[in-house]
Amino acid sequence: MCGFAGLMAENVGALEVRVQSMLAPLFHRGPDDEGIWIDERMGLALGHRRLAILDLSAHGHQPMHSTSGRYVIVFNGEIYNFALLRKEIEAAGVNTEWRGHSDTEVLLAAFELWGVETTLARLVGMFAIVLWDKETHQLTLARDRLGEKPLYFGRIKGAFYFASELKAIRAQCAQDLQIDRDVLADYMRFGYIPAPRSIYKDIFKLHPGHLIQVSAAGVAGESRPFWSLVSDQTAELRSQLSQASDTEVLDLLDERLASAVGLQSFSDVPVGAFLSGGVDSSLVVSLMQAQSSSRVRTFTIGFEEEAFNEAPYAREVAQHLGTDHTEMYVKALDAAALIPMLPKIYDEPFADSSQIPTTLVSRLTREHVTVALTGDGGDELFAGYPRYPITANLWRKISKVPRPLRSAVASVLTHPSAADWDRLTGLLPARYQSSINGRRVNRLGQLIDSRSLGEMYIRLMSHWQPEENIVVGGKCTGFDSFPAQESDSIAAMRQWDVVQHLPDDLLVKVDRATMYSSLESRAPLLDHRIAEFAFALPERFLVREGVGKWALRRLLDRYVPSRLIDRPKTGFSIPLGEWLRGPLRDWAEDLLSPSRLVDDSYLDADKVGRMWHEHLSGKFDRSAHIWNVLMFQAWLRDIQSSECCGQTGENKEVFN
């Protein structure tokens, strides 16, 4: 697990100094070692920061050269099936004299034997790869199938830059980067920035499961996929599974998940796991403990606010499984102390408020282990979100209503503004006023007027709606990112989540939070073979009687009594609404100052002000909308401060 950065340019000079400045802000991703390789003739510099997980010796040092010398690589991630690939390479007689036992060395040997695309198709793991081919003078960038590891790239003033985090590129190009207002509008909408764009013009994120090749002149071609979540094989497997019994399917899932957990538990450093007490993390820990001769280390975060506290559930699961369990309770003051660091940790505007407990539990976990397994991906792959069946049923009913009638009703609901509706609903008895308000009435009208399931679902997943025009001079993208096939509504929503919500929100949150503490996270449920299996499952193995993750729940029954698990889903959330009205209020009001918003000129100060006052009144919870604004404002202030002070990277001591 590491971080990398580099550039390719003609006549730029001082390549080593430039790549060193890019690596400095990535110290937290790899505190164990640093390496730089330069080809002055080609104008290429590769830099790497290492967090040693496999082969702790110098033989794991990067940038690493292949045996023949043809390839040079910088690599972030883990190849879980590297031992099997190594045996296949040895059987082919290509390389029997290994320098060490790192997966990076095996990866290079595989590229030499099978070529780039064939090798990528054979990998099981999480990875971001930059590979230089000395023969063809071609640079290849590749990212793992589900998007666990980040990879930014872009061409600025004739030079091609790439890095694990945006801050590394900013260290070299800060004065030449411009905020993209359209991207900012999408950020306000979702609370994260969807790939392939970044907050800056001309800087991009490589899509998960894609590769892109760059010429010796530093010109990138079009990115192309090397994997697809849904394929002809998916339909084939679904046909087979549709004939299988419940027990047969659970046995297959048990076998595959146990294999994934076993592969991801292998390490040369201590391994533990996050445990929330929910289905996904409990299942991962159950499989870990079943394969371990010692007690697995587990970690959880709790809250004093009972409605948000899942720590007691995690404790009960840990006691049943016999893990070595550690928990930490988070207070608003803990959040307040962490908040100033969030812009540096998350690197571009990011507003999933569970970033706070995730960062804190990562810090706690790193005090004991270097690798932590997580339950990420279970809800998206196995239909765990209640919104899936609810939205599918709603669309099924609404789509039967003739379009003209729907549009007429929608017009009645959306034509009056939210403020107008609030004045009307103010005439209702007090007990109805919190549940029937102007924004909800407007949102209902928009949902009724949706032209497709995709539009309805994306609206449900949005905070600030496109029509609100919160960003001055910015425009949201449309609704065409949703999968075209809508015959299986739940599958289409899951697929959109796996392609966008999972990699651009949830996995960004986990990667940055864990890497900030130099902790490697691994997600067995995101083994691509598990993902393919999940999307081949007939719906009866996903949702029964309106409850999702049927297969995972019934598999977990084999390890943990259902009474410890069966409860309403709460998610890994914090009491943000209450904190913003209380201990975080002064910090928030400083960032939401109308004069500051006007001076910055990115956001509509009046709309932000109205939303903030609505939240402070206690009548409505607008914390999701406000947090999006606050995280952008905090990020903007941070980069403005860094640029004013001439700081392009973080001090290494911040991460020690």
Per-residue pLDDT tens digits for 553-569: 999 999 999 999 887 66
Are the beta carbons of 55 and 101 closer than 8 angstroms?
A: yes
pLDDT in the model for residue 644: 63
Lowest mean pLDDT among 3-7, 337-341, 539-543, 623-627: 337-341
Which of 195, 225, 255 is where one domain is finished?
A: 225
Do 205 and 99 share a structural domain? Answer: yes
Q: Is residue 469 part of a domain?
A: yes
CB 25 within 8 A of CB 169: no
Is pLDDT of 438 > 80? no
Tens digit of pLDDT for each residue in 213-270?
999 888 888 999 999 998 888 889 999 999 999 999 999 999 999 999 999 999 888 9
The residue with tokens 């606010």 is: 305
523 and 498 fall within a common domain:
yes
End-of-domain residue from the set 574, 603, 637 = 574
Distance of alpha carbon 268 from alpha carbon 279, whole angstroms: 28
Backbone angles phi, psi at 568, to 5 degrees: -60, 145
User: What confidence category does residue 480 fall into, taking pLDDT thresholds of 50, 70 and 90?
Assistant: confident
In a domain, 137, yes or no: yes
Residues 182-195: pLDDT tens digits?
A: 999 999 999 999 99
Burial 199-226 (b: 16+ CB within 10 A, else e): bbbbbbbbbbbbbbbbebebebeebeeb
In a domain, 656, yes or no: no
Flag whether pLDDT at 648 surpasses 80: no
Of 286, 276, 279, 293, the closest CA to residue 320 belongs to 286
Confidence bin at 433 (pLDDT 50/70/90): low
Residue 334: partners with Cβ closer than 8 Å, 6 or more residues away: 360
Q: Is residue 401 pLDDT above 80, yes or no?
A: yes
Residue 525 domain flag: yes
**Listed residue (261, 292, 337, 324) closest to 527, CA to CA:** 261
User: Does the pLDDT of residue 477 top 60, yes or no?
Assistant: yes
Parallel, antiparallel, or unpaired: how do β-strands 520-522 and 371-373 relate? parallel
Q: How far apart are CA 334 and CA 312, in angstroms?
A: 20
User: CA 453 to CA 372: how far, in whole Å?
Assistant: 37
427 confidence band (pLDDT: 50, 70, 90)? confident
Same domain for 493 and 583? no
Mean pLDDT (whole number) for 485-489: 70
Mean pLDDT of 601-625: 93
Query: What average pLDDT does the chain have?
Result: 90
| Residue 331 pLDDT exceeds 90 | no
- Residue 624 within a domain: yes
Residue 158's CATH number: 3.60.20.10
Structure tokens of 412?
């009645």
At 276, list the tokens: 């929330």
Give 646's pLDDT tier (boundaries 50, 70, 90).
low
233 domain residue, yes or no? no
135, 283: one domain:
no
CA-based R_g, the chain, Å? 25
Listing DSSP states for 317-365 in one string gives: HHHHHT-EEEEEEE-HHHHHHHGGGHHHHHSS----TTHHHHHHHHHHH
Which residue, 545, 574, 603, sits at the end of a domain?
574
Q: At what angle do helices 246-264 and 528-536 cross, to 10 degrees?
A: 170
Does residue 230 fall inside a structural domain?
A: no
Domain shared by 479 and 616, yes or no: no
Q: What is the pLDDT of residue 185?
A: 97
pLDDT of residue 418: 74
pTM: 0.93
**301 has binding-site annotation:** yes
Number of structural domains the chain divides into? 3
In tens, the pLDDT along 308-323 reads 788 999 999 999 999 9
Q: What is the pLDDT of residue 333?
A: 85
How much is the average pLDDT of 153-165? 95
Q: What is the mean pLDDT of residues 417-444?
A: 74
Same domain? 220 vs 245: no
- pLDDT higher than 50, residue 280: yes
Helix/strand/coil (H/E/C) assignment for every residue in 464-485? CCHHHCCECCCCCCCCCCCCCC
Give the three-state DSSP class for 185: helix
pLDDT at 60 over 70: yes
Other beta carbons within 10 angstroms of residue 105's beta carbon come to: 24
Q: DSSP secondary-structure letter at 424?
A: H
The pLDDT assigned to 651 comes to 39
Q: Known catalytic residues?
A: 2
179 marked among binding-site residues: no
Could you tell me the end-to-end alpha-carbon distance of the chain, in angstroms, rounded to an integer? 17
Q: Give 506's DSSP letter.
A: I
Percent residues over pLDDT 90 in the chain: 71
9 token code pair = 């340019």
At residue 654 the predicted structure's pLDDT band, cuts being 50, 70 and 90, is very low
Q: How far apart, in Å, are the Cα atoms of 183 and each of 12, 112, 180? A: 30, 39, 5
Calpha distance 605→419 (Å, rounded): 16
Per-residue pLDDT of 75-107, as tens digits, reads: 999 999 999 999 999 999 876 678 887 999 999
Region 597-617: what's the mean pLDDT? 95
Looking at the structure, do residues 31 and 148 belong to the same domain, yes or no?
yes
> Is the domain of 364 the same as that of 443?
yes
| 565 shares its domain with 585 | no
Exposed / middle / buried, residue 178 (Cβ in 10 Å: 0-12, 13-18, 19+) = exposed
Max mean pLDDT among 414-428, 442-456, 570-584 falls in 442-456
**How does pLDDT run across 498-529, given as a tens digit for each residue?**
999 999 999 999 999 999 999 999 999 999 99
Report helix, strand or coil for 277: coil
In 9-70, the DSSP E strands lie at 33-39, 44-50, 64-65
Contact 437, 421 (CB under 8 A): yes
Q: Are residues 580 and 568 in the same domain?
A: no
Same domain, 512 and 603: no
Residue 460 pLDDT exceeds 80: yes
**What range defines the domain where residue 591 resides?**
576-647
Alpha-carbon distance of 38 to 158, in angstroms, equals 18
Q: How far is CA 11 from CA 14, 40, 367, in A?
A: 9, 9, 45
Shared domain for 502 and 566, answered yes or no, is yes
Look at residue 645 in the predicted model and tell me its pLDDT. Answer: 59
Q: Look at the alpha carbons of 364, 368, 372, 373 in this order and tell me if their dihedral is positive or negative.
A: negative
Q: Indicate whether 649 pLDDT > 50.
A: no
CATH number at residue 248: 3.40.50.620
Q: What is the mean pLDDT of residues 301-305?
A: 83
pLDDT at position 343: 93
Would residue 654 count as lying in a domain?
A: no
